[in-house]
Structure 1
Amino acid sequence: MKKTLLFFFIFSNGILFSQKNNALKSYSFEEAYNLQEKEKKPIVIFFHTKWCKYCFGMKKKTFSDKKVIDLLNKYFYFIPFDAESKDLIKIKDKIFKNESGTHQIAQVLASKNNTISYPSTVILSANNIIDEQIDSFLSAEEISKILTKYIAKKIQTKRMLPK
């Protein structure tokens, strides 16, 4: 009986520990920008809404994929953001808010030709310049390819810069 309980205890702690390690780390805009002061990393922003079934699909499938989680946790700051949020966002001295149903930060970062499609995934460089805007559903395989290509391009660019 004692061996059974010991096995169960060790096994359950192992499962809990492995689940914590496989969790996607997500940040608010403020947290990501503060972290960039310590360690410069690109930011991936996932703009979604509560009513968007494709957004829900990405949350459920794409962002639960182990490879996607590993890439995002290691190389990026990840911000999932409801584009219809009423939250005020303060970045440095600038305040962003929702005045018209769509949050200003979504309008600034996810808009293409004055239109926002959901879901939208935006990659900001470590210097906070928009490098990528993808306005469609992305499978785990698709976003893994995009992130891997992005990382490889940044590493290659760093190697080419004079020291």
Structure 2
Amino acid sequence: MKRIIFISLLFCLHTSVAQKSEIEWIGFEQLDDSLQIENKPVLVYFYTDWCVYCKKMDRNAFKNPDIISSINEKYYAVKMNAESMDSIEFEGQTFINEQAKTKRNGVHQIPLILASREDKKVSFPTLLVLDRNFRIRKRSFEYMTSERMKELIKG
């Protein structure tokens, strides 16, 4: 009987852990460490505080239980304010917001490198799907509904 109760408790604990209610966002520094432990694809989300569509995605698509489950299971999820003033250490380099010295809403070096379009402009929200070798596989430079988000993160 004790064994059955123990197994039941383990199952309930596993189910509650597996069914998280939020995406487990990490930063680039945590990503560097995580990739050393397990190499898996990466979802990168660049946003700004003033971006209305970013806030709408945070309230809708990123609250969808299927999306939360899929992202937490398949990806390292990195969320970054594109106008961050933080110095970020990643892969042995330090990245900063160089534009902040001359612009009010300067864009950090990391989104400039990863999220620039062919015309060298950045827009938000930006979502990137990177493979295990950190190559960009998919990009989105616009608001994503839950259905479109599911397509983006689909294996």
Q: Same fold (TM over 0.5)?
A: yes
Q: 1:111 aligns with which of 105, 116, 129?
A: 116
User: Percent of aligned pairs with the same residue?
Assistant: 28
The answer for the alignment partner of 2:50 in structure 1 is 51
The answer for the alignment partner of 2:140 in structure 1 is 134
Pairwise CA distance, 1:92: 2.1
Separation of aligned partners in 2, 1:74 and 1:139: 20
The answer for the alignment partner of 2:29 in structure 1 is 30
The answer for the alignment partner of 1:66 in structure 2 is 65
The answer for the alignment partner of 1:42 in structure 2 is 41
Separation of aligned partners in 2, 1:45 and 1:92: 16
Superposed CA offset, 1:111-147 (max 9, x none): 0020111100011111111111110000111111121
Q: Structure 2 counterpart of 1:117, which letter?
A: S
TM-score, normalised relative to structure 2: 0.81
Separation of aligned partners in 2, 1:51 and 1:23: 22
Separation of aligned partners in 1, 2:153 and 2:98: 32
Separation of aligned partners in 1, 2:45 and 2:64: 15
SS of 1:123's equivalent in the other structure is strand
Separation of aligned partners in 2, 1:139 and 1:41: 25
Separation of aligned partners in 2, 1:82 and 1:24: 16
Separation of aligned partners in 2, 1:114 and 1:95: 21
SS of 2:46's equivalent in the other structure is strand
Higher share in helix: 1
Structure 2 gap segments, 5+ residues each:
1-15, 100-105
The answer for the alignment partner of 1:155 in structure 2 is none
TM-score, normalised relative to structure 1: 0.77
